[in-house]
Structures are given as C-alpha cells and as structure tokens.
Amino acid sequence: MIKELRVSNDAMDDPSELRRRMADEGYLFFKQLQNPDKMRALRQEMMATIQRVGWLIGDTDPMDAIADVTKQCTEGDLGYSAGYGEVYKLNAFHRSAHWPEVTEMVEKIVGRPIMPHPQKIARIWFPKYTEHTTPTHQDFVHFQGSFETYTCWAPVGDCPIELGGLAVIPGSHKVNRVLEHHFSLGAGSLVVDTDEHPEIDPVWHSTNYEAGDTLIFPALTIHKALPNYTEDKLRLSLDNRYQAVGDPIAEHMLEPHGPSGLGWDDVYATWRDDELKYYWRKYDNPVVARDWSYSDKGFAEALDMARGGNEQALYRLRQTIDNTPGTPRAEQALAVLAEMGIA
C-alpha cells in the first residue's frame, strides 16, 4: 500500500517550518511549485526530440508520449546513449534546473546560497520494462560530495501512479549513514534491502503527480521509482541536484550525465547563448574524488551472481561488455562468461 505524500504548500513562505519538516520527514512535496505551462512547454520540446530519435510512434502527438515499445532501452544499454544524448543537448532542459521557483525554494530549505549541479539528469522510462525500474536506494552512493545535497524530482507533465513516479520512505534519512547497497538492475545498479535494516519502517509515500509538482529530499532519504505499468506511455522526469555554496562536490558531478556519452563541448555546440556554459566555475565548491567503492561492490556482486546463473546479473555483464568495451569491468565480465562457456 502506498500512502499520500504530505503537501507542504502551506509552509512555502516559512523557511524554519520547511527545515523542520525536512529534518523530520526527509522530504518536502509541493503542488505546482513549478509553473505547469512552463513544464508543458518543456515537455513539448523534449518529447519532440524523443520522437525524432525514434522512441515514440512517429505519427502521434509527442505530448501524448506514445512509446514504440520495440525500442525499449534504458541507462547502460548501448542503444540508449544516442537518443538520450539528443535530449541532453537541449538548452531548455538544462535551463529548467535554474528556474527561480526551484532555486529559491531550495535556498529557503538550505538556508545558504546554493548552486545547481551542472550534471542535470532526465529520466526516460519505457512501458513494459519494469525489471529495469530504478531500485530502492540513497542518492549519496551515486552523487556523493555532501549528505546535504538535495535532489529535486519533477515529472515533465502529469505522472499518475501507474506511469511510475517517485516514492520515498519518510524519516529514512535519520539513519544518518550510507546503508549497504547491493547489485540491481535499474538506474544506478544499486539497491538497499530494507529488510536488512529493521530500524526503517518501509512504508512508501507517493502520489498521482501533476505537471509542476515537485519533490525535494536530501542524499540519505531512501527512495525508488514506481514501475511504469502503462501499455504504451513513456515516462519523462527531471532529476536535478543542488547544494550549498562552499560544500564539497564530487568530481564526476561536474561532468555531463554519463549515459549521454557527451562532453560539455558536445552539449553546448548548438546553444545560442553562453549564460549557462560552465556557470559552476564561479562558485567556490571544493572538488573531491569520486568514491568508486559502492559501484565496485555492486559489480563484484553481479560477477558472483552471474556465475550462479542469475539472469539479471548476466544481463548486466553483457550490458557492460557492449557499452564499455575494453574497460577492466568489460574484461572481467568477458572472463566470467568464458568460465561459464557463454559467448
């Protein structure tokens, strides 16, 4: 059973109450924090691009997001990067993370000047591909830097439960530590098993999101995506991060999102203005090295599980071989498949 998110629009002008609720519940949810018309305009541009790359049925209105389910792919798949990269180049997509209604709200919550992370993320999820749904996790294992890094998640358009919005466990951030994560399919490839942590009451909260609705939470709050159970609808959302100026940021968060396969020169190639190019360089945020231990542990588990015949782990190994040939992980994956006599 999924419970409703608490709506905090009543506290939008009360920073102390916003901080109290965030400290208590580990999230804040706002109805139409972002202008729905602006969000729909962004949806039009992003979905039109997604249609051009072939992921939507060609003779349909892109706003309806009618997916070509024969093109199913996700982060980590070889076929995903080319399409995602075209979306990732859109200036409007990057600019949306800087909309003042978002940055001003995050600043109220943090109580200090903030910086949007340059690594913006769009999530594009096909229907009938549920085993690749983003698993239960804490964001810190992926984005690192500071526990006080905040994720701002928003659907680009309406997102009812069956389309697969985000769900959180209220109060789960109070563990005040990074929990053990294990191998999984889905974005990030890491999952928390809440059964291993009896101090966490795994009661999930979500809602039927509407355009402009916004969910904000810190890096230790446990959350997941819900499966996209629709017959033919693509789910599109924004997944951006913010932190106080002066707090550390992990080095990889200064680069484009990995699945795009792009560098910043590629992203900026068609932009008509320079306002957001390398904007983060004017902020004083100490840069720290990426901690690969979380990812390395998950991949080591995938290798072991593949030896036992686990189909999801075998999928992950083949994905690694196809998408990152010649890397140490690809070589490890090839060696395991060779041990098993699998081509």
Q: What pLDDT, on a 0 to 100 scale, did the predictor assign at position 343? A: 65
**Structural tokens at position 262:** 């792009």
In this structure, are 193 and 142 located in the same domain? yes
Q: Which residues contact 134 (CB under 8 A, 6 or more apart)?
A: 123, 186, 187, 188, 224, 225
Label residue 273 exposed, middle or buried (CB < 10 Å: 0-12, 13-18, 19+).
exposed
pLDDT score of 149: 97
Q: Which residue, of 275, 290, 305, is where some domain finishes?
A: 290
CATH code: domain of residue 218:
2.60.120.620
* pLDDT at residue 161 tops 90: yes
Q: How many CB atoms lie within 10 A of CB 209?
A: 24
Same domain, 39 and 110: yes
Last residue of a domain, one of 260, 275, 290: 290
pLDDT for 323: 86
Claim to verify: residue 221 and residue 312 sit in the same structural domain? no
Segment 132-161 shows an average pLDDT of 97
Statement: residue 200 has pLDDT above 70: yes
Residue 76: predicted pLDDT: 85
Task: Verify that 149 and 38 share a domain, yes or no.
Answer: yes
Which are the contacts of 24, defined by CB distance < 8 A and separation ≥ 6?
171
Tens of pLDDT, residues 287-335: 999 999 999 999 999 999 999 999 999 999 999 998 889 999 999 999 9
Q: Are residues 148 and 271 in the same domain?
A: yes
- Give pLDDT tens digits for 218-259: 999 999 999 999 999 999 999 999 999 999 999 999 999 999
Q: Of 178-187, 209-218, 334-343, give the lowest mean pLDDT range.
A: 334-343
> Which pLDDT score, from 0 to 100, does residue 10 have?
98
Domain final residue, candidates 247, 271, 290? 290
Given this model, what pLDDT does residue 196 score?
94
Query: Percent of the chain having pLDDT more than 90?
Result: 94
Q: How confident is the model at residue 210 (pLDDT cuts 50, 70, 90)?
A: very high
Q: Are 24 and 171 in contact (CB under 8 A)?
A: yes
Same domain, 198 and 296: no
Q: Are residues 276 and 337 in the same domain?
A: no
Helices (H), 260-340: 264-268, 293-307, 311-323, 328-339
Q: Which domain holds residue 49?
A: 3-290
Report the domain count for the chain. 2
Within this chain, do residues 96 and 63 fall inside the same structural domain, yes or no?
Answer: yes
pLDDT at res. 7? 98
Same domain, 172 and 145: yes
State whether the Cα torsion 48-51-56-61 is positive or negative. positive
Integer Cα distance of 50 and 252 in angstroms = 26
3-state helix, strand, coil in the chain (%, to 5): 40, 15, 45
Mean pLDDT for the chain? Answer: 96
Say if residue 218 is in the same domain as residue 335: no
* Domain match, 78 and 154 both: yes
pLDDT tens-digit series, residues 74-98? 998 888 998 999 999 999 999 999 9
Q: Taking 80 as the threshold, does the pLDDT of residue 156 lie above it?
A: yes
pLDDT of the residue at 341: 86
In a 13 Å sphere around the CA of 218, the CA atoms on its Cβ side amount to 24
Outline where DSSP puts E strands in 121-255.
122-125, 150-155, 166-168, 182-183, 190-191, 205-206, 214-218, 223-225, 235-244, 249-250
Same domain, 36 and 149: yes
For residues 304 and 296, what is the distance between their CA atoms, to the nearest angstrom? 13
